Structure 1
Amino acid sequence: MVDTANSLATRVHELLVALLTGGADARVPGQGASPARGFLGAPPSVDVTTGFHDVVARATTLGPEGTWLVAAGHAGLGVLAIARGQADQGLFHLDAAVTAGYNDCVTFHAASIRPLHHDPRFRALYQRMRITAADLDELFWLHQEMQLMSQDAKRAMIDNLGRLDTGVSLLPQAPMPTREPNTPGVLITRIDLAATQTALRQTALKLDFQRSSGNTSLSLIDDSWDYSRARHDAWHADELDSRRLRAAEARAFVERPGAGTTLTPCPPLGSITYPA
């Protein structure tokens, strides 16, 4: 398969979903593995670290079109290394990401990154980043949406406890911004949000299917199953889903009139409060 920016962006999304759902030791199918291999045995798989290294190598061959994906791969490797306590390796990859155009200064104020703020190497790479006011607005929105959807997922999990119906609920998600960003680094954070949405939906669906299949089994073997309660639970779940959908649609990103499109240094390190 010939690599394209779209195919590698899809791969980054796949790696991030695996990381969010399976942790740093998660494995994913090797990119480019032949489907025929599946008939001969388990398809080859790679860990997410190897996957991100592969993205960097493949994106490099695309030239300028793939530079932002080189940044995405290095950013993923940097975050992984920091999570494992490998600060030097993390700084190496974050520096490479910034060199390739990474400019998500909001991410660099997340709790996992803040311990690096006093490192001169981190301060130096942060000072090299440039962003526009319009792109910074979107970055704040993207990170806020990650937090809001995580909160929605937790509330939905609590709401679904004890449901007797056999239906499943999809977690509604706010529409992805469609504006043309001033800097390609914004595209990386859009993939981060998309991966967060996918991971949360997968987890919610897994729990819902477990509950649904359990209730289906009860309906087949236990005459004491409360059909009236199940119908009420289904109606209530549909009502909650409708509310969540309306709330997600209302959260759609709206460009701020007059937001600047001129590249400027990122806000001073430490001045950004990560969305809660």
Structure 2
Amino acid sequence: MVDTVNSLATRVHELLVGLVTNGPAAVGTTTAGLHDVVARATALGPHGAWLVAAGHAGLGDLACVQGQTDQAVFHLDAAVSAGYNDCVALHVAAMRPLHDDPRFRALYQRMRITQADLDEFFWLHQEMQIMSQDAQQASVDNIGRLDTGVSPLPQAPMPTREPNTAGVLITRLDLAAAQTALQQVVMKAEFQRSSGNTSLSLIDDSWDYARARHDAWHADELDSRRLRAAEARAFVERPGAGTTLVPCPPLGSIAYPS
């Protein structure tokens, strides 16, 4: 099959979903896959540059988490050269040990961004945190439910604005992967609970149907509340947000969303 930007973006998404879902067990597969994406995206020329950046950024993240400083800096430098500019991501806790490295400081200073894109970067990372918190809360809320309904995890819509820099596309991929992985985890747990309750209701004469109906009503209320909250979180571009490329905020000045 001939590689395209869309096919390689889909591949990156699959790799990131696997990493989020399987954790350390998927590091080897993800690393090999991202190296392959970099090679294939490079062959696409300028149209594939942002995917080259995405691959190197992912490899840099993995190297950083594993304490491989030289490899982390190498891949992040290559990512910046290919258009990576998510200065918010470079302030996550795992990246802070690199902040004193002169090589890291140099690559950070090369990045350029617009205020409009910076606003979206903050939103994308904030949404990743909210999604994770929502998934954890949903698992708590569903403990002990006796009904057989299934509650999906509502997600805020992905921004549709035309970004000023291609680096935004990379972080949109990161968010999309997080959304997919968390949704899969939540739905797996929900189907297990639902099927278990269905089986028990068929074999247990003392099944509390009144409680099950109440749980279903309560779950519907929570689902509606989460859906409204997700819709309300949709990204809104600030009127007048700058679209001129400028240096990123000084290293260390950004508070990563919590």
The alignment's TM-score, normalised by the length of structure 2, stands at 0.98
The reply to whether residue 14 of structure 1 matches residue 23 of structure 2 is no
Aligned-residue offset at 1:25 = 2.5
The reply to whether residue 258 of structure 1 matches residue 240 of structure 2 is yes
The reply to whether residue 151 of structure 1 matches residue 133 of structure 2 is yes
The reply to whether residue 82 of structure 1 matches residue 83 of structure 2 is no
Separation in 2, partners of 1:186, 1:232 = 44
Aligned-residue offset at 1:149 = 1.1
Separation in 1, partners of 2:203, 2:103 = 64
The reply to whether residue 49 of structure 1 matches residue 42 of structure 2 is no
**Identity of aligned pairs, percent?**
80
Separation in 1, partners of 2:94, 2:80 = 18
Alignment of 1:228-239 (within 5 A): 228-239=210-221
Say if 1:19 and 1:48, in contact at 8 Å, map to a contact too. Answer: yes
Alignment of 1:192-231 (within 5 A): 192-231=174-213
1:5 maps to what in 2?
A: 5
Unaligned runs of 5+ in 2: none
Alignment of 1:87-166 (within 5 A): 87-166=69-148
Unaligned runs of 5+ in 1: 28-45
Separation in 2, partners of 1:217, 1:82 = 46
Amino acid aligned to 1:8: L
Say if 1:104 and 1:185, in contact at 8 Å, map to a contact too. Answer: yes
Separation in 1, partners of 2:48, 2:24 = 25
Aligned-residue offset at 1:222 = 1.1
Amino acid aligned to 1:135: D
The reply to whether residue 180 of structure 1 matches residue 162 of structure 2 is yes
Aligned structure 1 segments of 4 or more residues deviating by more than 6 angstroms: none
Aligned-residue offset at 1:173 = 0.4
Aligned-residue offset at 1:179 = 0.4
Aligned-residue offset at 1:251 = 0.5
Q: Tell me the C-alpha RMSD between the 2 structures.
A: 1.0
Q: Give the total of aligned pairs.
A: 258
Separation in 1, partners of 2:170, 2:24 = 19
2:42 maps to what in 1?
A: 60
Separation in 2, partners of 1:25, 1:228 = 43
Mean Cα deviation higher: 208-217 or 263-272: 208-217
Separation in 2, partners of 1:55, 1:223 = 56
- Of structures 1 and 2, the one with the larger relative CO (CA 8 A, separation 6+) is 2
SS at match of 1:102: coil
SS at match of 1:256: coil
Describe the superposition over 1:202-229 as per-residue Cα deviations: whole angstroms up to 9, x where unpaired: 1111111111121112112111111111
Aligned-residue offset at 1:201 = 0.5
SS at match of 1:26: helix
The alignment's TM-score, normalised by the length of structure 1, stands at 0.92
1:37 maps to what in 2?
A: none
1:272 maps to what in 2?
A: 254
Aligned-residue offset at 1:24 = 3.3
Describe the superposition over 1:131-182 as per-residue Cα deviations: whole angstroms up to 9, x where unpaired: 0000000000000111111111111111000000111111000000000000
Amino acid aligned to 1:5: V
When you count helix as a share of all residues, which structure comes out higher?
A: 2
Describe the superposition over 1:50-79 as per-residue Cα deviations: whole angstroms up to 9, x where unpaired: 100010011001000000000000011111
